[in-house]
Structure 1
């Protein structure tokens, strides 16, 4: 029995991942219509476009010609690189973001267990990661450059509520927009507890939490010293936590 081409097996595996998350072909198609990527059925199926974009992007620099070739190879439908170029637009970006958001929400779907009463209304986790992009996007996303080489990076910010088990927000920003710059953009509510890495730690953010009636936990450098606002003496956090701990 002849073996199927590898790209067909890859495509089957790709959409099996969506099936495992209970994301159907119809749901993806609805997102394509909702994001106005398509208004009626065309030669370029949005689901096939999603597949080839993910596949080719994972392999590094990709061109419209590469996408057209991969689409014809996987579906048998011949399209021009110009047709692909017209389809890679703002609506396509909205489509990809909505699919990405749905995948994350599905990965963290409510588990159905009865939760214990919580002190906080929301427990919000914020973190970021850096991804490498093709060098030709350096002008849009920036990155790291020296006399010998240039690397294009983008920074992804993600915010997740542990209580609601819901993905709240994500953004794809320029590499130069670091965590300190993104920190004030987080919308705080009274009764929140936020968990953040040390990249977000700044005195103004701690004060913003106090002002909004929210609490925060930061990871910080071992040599960071916190001072008492009244007497300016160093606060022994470990001793303070031991005194106020509800655990024995």
Structure 2
């Protein structure tokens, strides 16, 4: 049985948040908010989420037996406010701060922030709240969840559930409330927004993005710059790289254009992908077709110390969040948890998202970071997040007790030996894994 001295949160702080948000109103509450969170964490880690399993796990750890209906009833608007408060506590409390990746190339930046979204199918009873796809005969309810991750700190920064129609571009300026001077923001074309780039430049925030076809480009000393003519002249001269300062957009945002020529096989693959992504009634323009033979980035990172090869390596790290999504979905049934509610209440998916976010931000990610840094320092091997997730599920209670609740070095040292043998990336000569991409960077 878990008591107040054997839980994985600060009981007093969690109770304070619960009372402030009126998640609980009386001192003789039936459902303990700290134990409610703890039991959810264990159920989710086991990959067997259901309200019945949650109620059973809670009752196993408590002197009080509760029904799954009782938990369902607690998942209300007050629960949402409570969980929002817990998320803020988790993200700001030193207990949950993660160890930092020590890459020399990252020293210049305060944080390295990656954004991405994932879509999750919900029950059709929520169609009016979340929209989705409909052809008049069949409708599919979809939600879009936006996440922000600090790669340098190894920390989740934000999660936000929205409707399917709220695209990445619509969300592109939301980050302005969270970024700080000295941060680096890595973006794909879905988040392309000239106003956001202008904000970054004006506030000394670094960014790196692909160049959007059709963007107005101007020379620093005045006049339009025809990017197609420029690159074609490079082709004739046998020049396969570009690196220059320009101005972009109506407000003439000062940026650095940097890029390289693709080989014929890469260019053909990129062209095929571009054609496939377009609607049949919207063919590629001649400019777009030509630019598939180049990879062009824009950034406000200065050229000194950050030549083309390093810009390419940094941008590759944007795929790290895709790996996190895949791990979250495949190992911890994230989609199943968020879409578990079958009723019309739009709060339920958001509540489940916050609960999952607490699990990843406060437990899984810090545990991974601790072991990964030990292994890297001790043996120069990199822990695979996917393999570690399997081990984490098997040893969830021990991990929570010996890593999150109290640091038990004997347990950690013994576990490191097992993780090194069974859960690290294998070194391969034919390709680099994501861990190697991250850790190979040096000035």
Provide the TM-score with structure 2 as the length reference. Answer: 0.40
Residue 25 of structure 1 corresponds to 8
**SS in structure 2 opposite 1:157?**
strand
CA distance in structure 1 between the partners assigned to 2:42 and 2:127 by the alignment: 20
Residue pair 2:126, 2:141 contacting (<8 A) in 1 also: yes
Residue 245 of structure 1: how far off its partner (Å)? 6.4
**SS in structure 2 opposite 1:127?**
strand
Residue 182 (1) aligns with residue 171 (2):
yes
Residue pair 1:142, 1:176 contacting (<8 A) in 2 also: yes
Which of these residues, 47, 51, 55, is aligned with residue 71 of structure 1? 55
Residue pair 1:143, 1:153 contacting (<8 A) in 2 also: yes
Residue 92 (1) aligns with residue 79 (2):
yes
Higher helix proportion, which one? 2
Which of these residues, 226, 232, 238, is aligned with residue 225 of structure 2? 232
Q: 1:147 to 1:163 in 2, by over 3 A?
A: same
Residue pair 1:29, 1:47 contacting (<8 A) in 2 also: no
Residue 73 of structure 1: how far off its partner (Å)? 8.5
Residue 142 of structure 1: how far off its partner (Å)? 2.0
**SS in structure 1 opposite 2:157?**
strand
Residue pair 2:143, 2:161 contacting (<8 A) in 1 also: yes
| Larger RCO, structures 1/2 (Cα 8 Å, 6+ apart) | 2
**SS in structure 1 opposite 2:79?**
helix
Residue 147 of structure 1: how far off its partner (Å)? 2.5
Residue pair 1:101, 1:167 contacting (<8 A) in 2 also: no
Per-residue deviation, residues 167-189 of structure 1 (Å, max 9, x unmatched): 33222222221111111121244
Residue pair 2:111, 2:151 contacting (<8 A) in 1 also: yes
Residue 128 of structure 1 corresponds to 117
Between 1:125-134 and 1:110-119, the stretch displaced more is 110-119
- What do you get for the CA RMSD once the two structures are aligned? 4.3
CA distance in structure 2 between the partners assigned to 1:71 and 1:99 by the alignment: 21
1:202-241 equivalences in 2 (<5 Å): 202-219=193-210, 224=213, 228-229=217-218, 230-234=223-227, 238-240=241-243, 241=258
Residue 210 of structure 1: how far off its partner (Å)? 2.6
Residue pair 2:14, 2:33 contacting (<8 A) in 1 also: no
Unaligned runs of 5+ in 2: 232-239, 244-257, 261-302, 310-443
Residue 109 of structure 1: how far off its partner (Å)? 1.0
**SS in structure 1 opposite 2:31?**
coil
Q: 1:129 to 1:100 in 2, by over 3 A?
A: farther
Per-residue deviation, residues 86-117 of structure 1 (Å, max 9, x unmatched): 42222312344455677789887114859677
Residue 381 of structure 2 corresponds to none
Between 1:28-37 and 1:197-206, the stretch displaced more is 28-37
Residue 192 of structure 1: how far off its partner (Å)? 3.1
Residue 120 of structure 1: how far off its partner (Å)? 2.8
Residue 38 (1) aligns with residue 24 (2):
yes
Which of these residues, 137, 140, 154, is aligned with residue 151 of structure 1? 140
Residue 206 of structure 1: how far off its partner (Å)? 2.5
**SS in structure 2 opposite 1:181?**
coil
Residue pair 1:135, 1:152 contacting (<8 A) in 2 also: yes
Provide the TM-score with structure 1 as the length reference. Answer: 0.64
CA distance in structure 2 between the partners assigned to 1:159 and 1:29 by the alignment: 29
Residue pair 1:192, 1:215 contacting (<8 A) in 2 also: yes
Residue pair 2:186, 2:209 contacting (<8 A) in 1 also: yes
Residue 109 of structure 1 corresponds to 98
Residue pair 2:114, 2:186 contacting (<8 A) in 1 also: yes
Residue pair 1:43, 1:77 contacting (<8 A) in 2 also: no
Q: 1:154 to 1:99 in 2, by over 3 A?
A: farther
